[in-house]
Amino acid sequence: MATGKALRIQPQTSARAVAISALLLFCLLALPALLSTYWVKVLTAVAIFAVVALGLNLLFGRVGLVSLGQIALLAVGSWIAARLFFLTNMPFPVVLLLTGVLTAAIGTLVGLPALRLSGLHLALITLMFAGVIAIVAPTTNFPNGGSGVLGHTESSSGGLVVRRPGIAESDAAYFRYTVIVAAIMFLLALAHVASKTGRAWAAIRQSEPAALAAGVNTTFYKLYAFTLASFMPGVAGGLYAGYVGRLYSYQFSGARTIDSVTLLATVLMGGIFSLWGAVVAALLQNWFAFFETNPDFLLVLFGVGVLQVLVTAPEGLVTQLPRDLRNLGRLLSRAVRRVGRSPGSAT
Amino acid sequence: MIEVERLTVRFGGVTPLDAVTLTFPEGTCGLIGPNGAGKTTFLNVLSGLVRPVAGSVRAFGEDLLRITDFRRARWGLRRTFQQEQAIQRLSIFDNVGLVQEHCGGSRGSRRRDVERALEFIGLEQLADERVGMLSARHRRLVEVARAVVGEPRVVLLDEPGAGLPDEETEHLGRVIRRIPEAFGALVVLVDHDMSLVSGCCGMTAVLDFGKVIASGPTNEVLRDEHVLRAYLGTEEQV
């Protein structure tokens, strides 16, 4: 019976799983050996930002809630992780998990207005949160050591270094570690999307009254979405702390309010209806590392990019690029066939 | 049975429901009226989307207004909306399954419940199709499946045939007529299509400007002079 098919793994799904596993293995085994240290570091940053973008991708793409505070939550995560690393000897994965949980608690508090607000009003609230972090980070001289929660050291060596896990002290090993954590976050997101929770989010995105009428506890699921979307930048913040080593307020340009806005732009451009869109968003977010571009010009470029995506491909580059490449391939093959058939070609 | 007494809703200076008192006994009952009569507001009160300022609603002896909005679906109150609400990106199976799982249906019975609802509307062979790929007729049937999956006690259908051609509305009518017998639920049908209402509903109530102007056996109500006047208007004496 047809419904039985719903529970069977489709061949297409198996092929996709094999391709993703192969890509993951390539990233873990081949990439660090093929690339210079610079590019390994750039791709580590891409993996970290992919986790941050994933949180927003889930929140906006699956539930329809807009947050402009994701980069601020990355800063909060880095802060919490740094303090946990300085104050305790807990293993790296435990610190990551704890950082994610604590950041999620803060993000959930910020998300409380989401129960009553949506759209522009919710975006403004989260933008204000990003603004607060952008002020707090430099005024407290971003804690890089010392005692207490706000400890800061002015030593010439530039403060304490956030330790990396014992198995991932080199840049190449830390890249692998980051990719594995990012893959776990993507699996976590996938598990949610394919579950009862994901279907509840889909119902809320479609229409909140209809979701309520379908028995969905919209209050719980909206808040849970905020919790998960904050957990992810929290974990990414822990990875970021280990990535940069020493933490200063100026390093946290990411805590600047504008970066929270550009993240939304890159997530939109990447594609909010596919989790892969978060990877495209992370690549765009690290555009500067790939192409030396004036940051102001980059803002203009992203503005045009968002306009292009919204008008011509609301599903984002992650869908548009393969489709356009397929169309281009078809056009080229048609052109080649036409040239082959033309009278001149017989001579 | 649904018993509504002096139900009043106010939005600022507007009173879309004004001391509405009516009873829907069993089977399929109709609720009709001209545009702006308060039909959808009435359904919104029953489903918890609008809070009345006065009145009571008892369904099968329980005070419906005391149940939290999303818990009413778990109690057994289901509804469709004028605009399609099935999620285009999800399969038919998942669209129906999400209602089952959020209405307190067990994981063990999920597949059985969904299959039963899909067999009822005759789309079991398309269970894996995305709703976005379906025709308007099939999408409307999916809405019905979402409303009957599990153990519904009251099914509210808000213009379920909107936008469908006559022959497809007839098929939908045949499906709706079978709901009380197949699921034991009381159906309240709101529609402008009088052939659908008269074909499905044993009794019908008529709202106009938030007030009940007629209620009783459908054939009699549709001939009622007040109802005809509400639909056709009155000649103005000059």
What the block records as the tokens of B45 is: 């009160």
CATH assignment of the domain containing A98: 1.10.3470
Amino acid A157: pLDDT: 59
Task: List the 187-206 stretch of A: residues with Cβ below 8 A of B.
Answer: 196, 199-200, 202-203, 205-206
In a domain, residue A248? The reply is: yes
CB contact under 8 A, A217 and B102: yes
Calculate mean pLDDT across residues A115-125.
81
Mean pLDDT score, A19-41: 89
Interface pTM, i.e. ipTM = 0.89
Q: What is the pLDDT of residues A252-271, one digit of tens each?
A: 654 567 888 888 999 999 88
Q: Please check whether residue A215 touches B, CB under 8 A.
A: yes
Q: Does A221 fall in a domain?
A: yes
CB contact under 8 A, B81 and A3: no
Distances in whole angstroms, Cα of residue A69 to Cα of each of A114, A128, A253, A254, B158: 13, 8, 14, 11, 39
A13 has a chain B CB within 8 A of its CB: no
pLDDT value, residue A147: 63
- Is B145 part of the contact surface with chain A (CB cutoff 8 Å)? no
A60 compared with A151, residue with greater pLDDT: A60
Q: Quick one: pLDDT at residue B122?
A: 92
- Cβ-nearest to A3 among B81, B90, B114: B114
Residue A108, pLDDT above cutoff 80: yes
Percent of chain B clearing pLDDT 90 (strictly above): 74
- Whether residue A7 lies within 8 A of chain B, CB to CB, comes out as yes
Residue A264 lies in a domain: yes
Please answer whether residues A111 and A97 qualify as being in contact, where contact means their C-beta atoms are separated by less than 8 angstroms.
no
How sure is the predictor about A344, in pLDDT bands with cuts at 50, 70 and 90? Answer: low
B contact residues 179-238, partner A, Cβ 8 Å cutoff: none
Is there a domain that residue A33 lies in? Answer: yes
Q: How many CB pairs under 8 A join A and B?
A: 85
Given a contact cutoff of 8 angstroms between Cβ atoms, the answer to whether B145 and B96 are in contact is yes
Q: How confident is the model at residue A142 (pLDDT cuts 50, 70, 90)?
A: low
Q: A51-83 pLDDT, tens per residue?
A: 999 999 999 999 999 889 899 999 999 989 988
Average pLDDT of the segment spanning A89-109:
94
Rounded average pLDDT over A152-167 = 73
In A, minimum Cα distance to B67 occurs at A215
Q: Which residues of B touch A212 (CB under 8 A)?
A: 47-49, 69-70, 73
> Measured in whole angstroms, how far is the alpha carbon of residue B142 from the centre of its chain?
14
Q: What is the largest CA-CA distance in chain B?
A: 69
Q: Find all residues with CB under 8 Å of B205, minimum gap 6, and list them.
A: B22, B24, B29, B30, B31, B32, B212, B214, B215, B221
**Does the CB of B108 have a partner CB in chain A at under 8 Å?**
no
- Domain assignment of residue A121, yes or no: yes
Asked if A300 has any chain B CB less than 8 Å from its own CB, the reply is no
Nearest Cβ partner for B85 among A200, A207, A217? A207
Q: How far is B56 from chain A (nearest CA, A)?
A: 19
Nearest to A213 among B73, B97, B101 (CB): B73
Strands (E) in A300-345, as ranges, are none
Q: What domains are defined for chain B?
A: 2-232 (3.40.50.300)
The closest of A46, A23, A71 to A284, measured between CA atoms, is A46
pLDDT tens digit sequence for A187-238: 999 999 999 999 999 999 999 999 999 999 999 999 999 999 999 999 999 9
**Interchain CB distance below 8 Å, A206 and B124:** no
Whole-number mean pLDDT of chain B?
A: 91
Which residues on A lie below 8 Å from B44 (Cβ)? Answer: 209
Nearest by CB to A2, which of B69, B81, B124?
A: B124
Q: Which residues of chain B have pLDDT under 50?
A: none
User: Is the per-residue pLDDT at A5 higher than 50?
Assistant: no
What average pLDDT does range A111-121 have in this prediction?
A: 78
Residue of B nearest to A193 (CA): B90
Chain-chain contact of B124 with A1 (C-beta, under 8 angstroms): yes
Q: How far away is chain A from the Cα of B64, in angstroms, using its nearest Cα?
A: 14
Shortest CA distance from B106: residue in chain A: A196
User: Which residues in chain B are closer than 8 Å to A273, comparing Cβ atoms?
Assistant: 89
Average pLDDT over residues A246-257: 66
A347 inside domain: no
For the beta carbon of residue B132, count every other beta carbon within 10 angstroms. 12
Of the candidates B69, B91, B103, the beta carbon closest to that of A6 is on: B91
Q: How far apart are the first and last CA of chain A?
A: 59
Is A5 part of any domain?
Answer: no
State the nearest Cα–Cα gap between B108 and chain A, in angstroms.
13
pLDDT attached to residue A156: 53
Per the structure, the count of domains in chain A is: 1
Mean pLDDT of A94-116: 90
A237: domain range?
Answer: 25-342
Q: What is the mean pLDDT of residues A244-250?
A: 77
The pLDDT, as a whole number, for residue A6 is 44
- pLDDT beyond 80 at A288: no
B90 contacts chain A (CB < 8 A): yes
Q: How far apart are CA B49 and CA A36, in angstroms?
A: 59
**So what's the pLDDT on residue B237?**
52
Query: Quick one: closest CA in A to B48, which residue?
Result: A213
Residue A308: band (very low, low, confident or very high) from pLDDT cuts 50, 70, 90: confident
DSSP state, residue B125: G
Q: How many CA atoms lie within 13 A of B222 on its CB side?
A: 17
pLDDT of residue A4 exceeding 60, the answer is no
Q: Which chain B residues contact residue A213 at CB under 8 A?
A: 47, 49, 73, 78-79, 81
Contact A6 B93 (CB under 8 A): yes
pLDDT at B42: 95
User: pLDDT value at position A132?
Assistant: 85
Query: Could you give the percent of chain A with pLDDT greater than 90?
Result: 40
Distance from CA of A3 to the nearest CA of B (A): 5
Chain A CB contacts of B118 under 8 Å are 3
**A215/B99 CB distance under 8 A:** yes
Instruction: Quote the pLDDT of residue B121.
Output: 94
Q: Residue B222's pLDDT is what?
A: 87
- For residue B134, the distance in angstroms to the closest alpha carbon of chain A comes to 16
Residue contact A196–B101, C-beta within 8 A: yes
Two tokens at A338? 């036409």
Sign of the CA dihedral with B142 first, then B145, B147, and B149 last: negative
A196:B79 CB<8 A: no
C-alpha torsion sign, points A110, A115, A117, A119: positive
Residue located via tokens 């281009």 = A328
Q: Which of A7, A212, A219 to substitute to test the interface with B, most B CBs within 10 Å?
A: A212
pLDDT of res. A3:
42
Q: A215, B125: Cβ pair inside 8 Å?
A: no
* Structure confidence at residue A2 (pLDDT): 42
Q: Of B70, B111, B126, which is closest to A212 when you measure between CB atoms?
A: B70
Interchain proximity A1–B115, CB inside 8 Å: yes
Whether A17 is covered by a domain: the verdict is no
